[in-house]
Amino acid sequence: MPNYSEETVSAPYMQRTKIQLETAYSPGSLFTFEGFLTVCESVPAQRYTPMEVTPYAKEQIYSSIDERIKAWYRTAMQNADDPLPFMCVDRDLLNAEETDIDDRLNISQFDFAEPKDMGYIPSVLTFVCNQCKRVLTFKNIADFDKKKDLMGRINCSKIDQQCHWRQLDIVFVHPNGNYNQPEPWRYNYSNRTNDVYKGDTRCSNCNSEKVCLNERSPQLSNRYYYCADCGAPRDTQWIQNDIEWLKKFRGIQNRQAADIRMKAVSYRANSVHYPLQDMTIDFGKNERLATLNDVTNQQMKIAVSDAFSFPVTRIPEKEFETKVVDKYGPGEWNSYKTLVIKLDDFKNGPEATDEAYTSVINALENARQEKEEGWAKSGIVSKQVDLPPKLTKSLEERRDLFSHRYDPFRLLIEHRALLDQIVSDQLMDNGIPYYTAMDHLDQYIGPDDPKEREVLNVAHRKIMDHSGIDTIGLVRKFETLQYSFGFTRVDSKPVTKYINNRIAPVRLKLFEKTQIDEEQKHPIFTLKQNNEAIYVRLKEEVIREWLTRLNTNEGMQSSSIGAQYLEAVPPMGTFLDNLPHEDLNGPSMPLALYSLLHTYAHHVMYAISDFSGLGVGSLGEYIFPADLSFIVYRRGMTMDLGNLTSMLRNNAPAFLKYIEDRTSLGCGSGSLCISRGGACPDCLLIPEVSCITQNKLLSRALLIGKGHPNSYGFKDRIEGYLDVAQEMNSS
């Protein structure tokens, strides 16, 4: 990677949207401005002001980053050929001996910053003449500033004037995250000097330093340098070695050459920069979220029982009293008992039916519940829940079994927190509802005439029934935090098939440290977004019938589908690399359900894109599998945030008809796409950075039949969910 430390260079700031600076133009990316005149590298500003993030959101982000780093490291170490810890993750994430990853993420190394004032420095300072192919190389921008006059003094051998220079748009990249500009020499290691040196800086035939580049081959690996004076090839291949590897292993004799080689690619290629990003919903201070911090899982068990009607009993009063007295003393318990006795007296007394005492009874009941809930949060549990053994085991082991984004218990609580706000009668500050269902239109996205709105409500309800949708509507204020904290090169996964089919580790690199609140820290570039979203919940009765017809591996029970999902869901790690495949007697019920919701979410994304003008890459998704729900949200940060409102106001019936219509799920690859599982860039796939599963667990067959997914127990042609929904509502 070019060295900018030899002389201090003040990087100017670029003008880009915050969403672009947080992703495509985040530190480490290579790009050109409009006109393609100069290749630049994005670098952090020298100083940032810390960004305020709510405690829950901060905990979720740090926990998610820690989980992702550990999963990345574990996957790279287990699957790569001859891996080394420092080549799997950033050195700041390793212990002092660099033998293993730190047990816990050292959050003192990080801080949150808003992605603005992103700097850039000209990079890849290798130039070639368009005519004679003469090559000039500058090691950094300071070197270029000193020697740039040389470019104007070289006469082209093909034309009788100065050379016409262009910046070479090729870089050499390595899975460890390093890159190097093309240079007319190969780096090697000298055991005599114990250092890296430039090999073959002069022609072996005539001793000339002048070099030209043979660009006649379209394949980058077949290009090569040759002497500008005598024409002798400098090398038969365009090869470069990674300097970091050379220094670590003192040349290539102690490692396979394939590990040390770099690949030549265009700086515009995706493989040059993959930002590490994610999102979390900002729920504010919703009290339900405290359940997620209960290490005893008792409050989570109560939440699960409330959601799926499992039996709940109060613990014996004597046991409850002992716990309260031990922690708070007898006075606290006596106060509580006085409150309970007073409440019972009012409830059982002659004034219980008197409306004048209703408010008094309600106030006493609220006071009792508030006291019990306060004790529950402190670990004193007043209720016992009898959950099925498999569900209990899944709950108790959830932190080891599930990534944050797939943890069904976390998603259950987050969904309830979401419903507290959007599916309620709450109004925003401007008096407009947070949520409007498509079969309960209001004057803001429906006609002014109430009678016309009711006609549309009936029509929409019919389409929703035929689409297997219980509710779908507009969420006017959906608050999210989108963040990025590092990047990779060559591949977006922990390992990659590299030169000579070697499985190489891909290093997870943090953004370089910069000054945040007077300290040098790795920035976590974070965007607070208040955007619109489409919320969808599918019909449980249709899903039950669809799953029954699939003849799933687990079979169907009479209990709620969400409860069955929690019991049977397999481990779902960060990279979904340990899901069950062929050792199933039938389709995996939880994976079929998750895949259905995920596929439906992509279907809705394409519908939104078709009617709103938004690209699918500007949309995101969040899936609540146990609640048969998902939400698709706008990821943009521009001022035109009314796209979804406008779409529904102008095209609501057409939008819903698109979702219902099987032909909208057509694909240019036709039967070939279906035979391969039913998901390709022409029909369902979206950019991997936008997809919650990196485009896994997807298949059009889940919605329209005709084929089946190629894994997770699917072996025979299946019926599509839309087919089942239309059959059940064909009256």
Give the pLDDT of residue 253: 61
Query: Measured between alpha carbons, how far is 446 from 594 in angstroms, rounded to an integer?
Result: 32
In the chain, the number of structural domains is 2
| Residue 653 within any structural domain of the chain | yes
pLDDT averaged per 10 residues, the chain (length 731)? 46 83 92 76 93 90 94 95 93 94 92 92 92 92 88 85 90 96 92 89 92 90 91 87 87 71 90 92 82 82 90 84 88 89 79 67 82 76 84 91 93 93 78 93 92 96 97 93 95 92 95 94 94 96 97 92 95 88 84 98 96 89 97 72 86 96 90 88 88 94 93 91 94 59
| Residue 155 within any structural domain of the chain | yes
- Amino acid at position 166, single letter: R
DSSP E strands in 3-46: the ranges are 30-32, 39-43
| Residue 93 within any structural domain of the chain | no
| Residue 637 within any structural domain of the chain | yes
Give the pLDDT of residue 5: 44
Among the candidates 220, 238, 273, a domain finishes at 273
The closest of 524, 477, 623, 486 to 61, measured between CA atoms, is 524
- Amino acid at position 197, single letter: Y
Tokens standing for residue 44: 């952090």
Give the pLDDT of residue 639: 46
Distances (CA, A) of 364 to 267, 343, 356, 372, 434: 68, 6, 14, 12, 31
| Residue 77 within any structural domain of the chain | no
Range of the domain at 247: 121-273
Query: Measured between alpha carbons, how far is 176 from 179 in angstroms, rounded to an integer?
Result: 9
The closest of 35, 38, 49 to 12, measured between CA atoms, is 38
| Residue 465 within any structural domain of the chain | yes
Give the pLDDT of residue 719: 95
Among the candidates 255, 273, 291, a domain finishes at 273
| Residue 11 within any structural domain of the chain | no
- Amino acid at position 56, single letter: Y
The 10 Å Cβ neighbour count of residue 541 is 13
Burial 582-592 (b: 16+ CB within 10 A, else e): eebebbbbbbb
| Residue 354 within any structural domain of the chain | no
**Contacts for 330-335 with beta carbons within 8 Å, 24 or more apart?**
none
Give the pLDDT of residue 9: 46
Among the candidates 252, 273, 294, a domain finishes at 273
The 10 Å Cβ neighbour count of residue 670 is 11
- Which pairing describes strands 110-113 and 519-538: parallel, antiparallel, or unpaired? parallel
Give the pLDDT of residue 353: 60
For residues 269 and 402, state if they share a domain: no
The 10 Å Cβ neighbour count of residue 248 is 15
**Angle CA 519–524–526, to nearest 5:** 125
The closest of 644, 665, 660 to 462, measured between CA atoms, is 660
Q: Which residue has the tokens 């393609």?
A: 36
The closest of 561, 578, 579, 635 to 605, measured between CA atoms, is 635
Q: Which helix (H) or strand (E) holds 589?
A: helix 589-612
Query: Measured between alpha carbons, how far is 298 from 304 in angstroms, rounded to an integer?
Result: 10
Give the pLDDT of residue 7: 44
Tokens standing for residue 393: 């085991």
For residues 263 and 405, state if they share a domain: no
Give the pLDDT of residue 4: 44
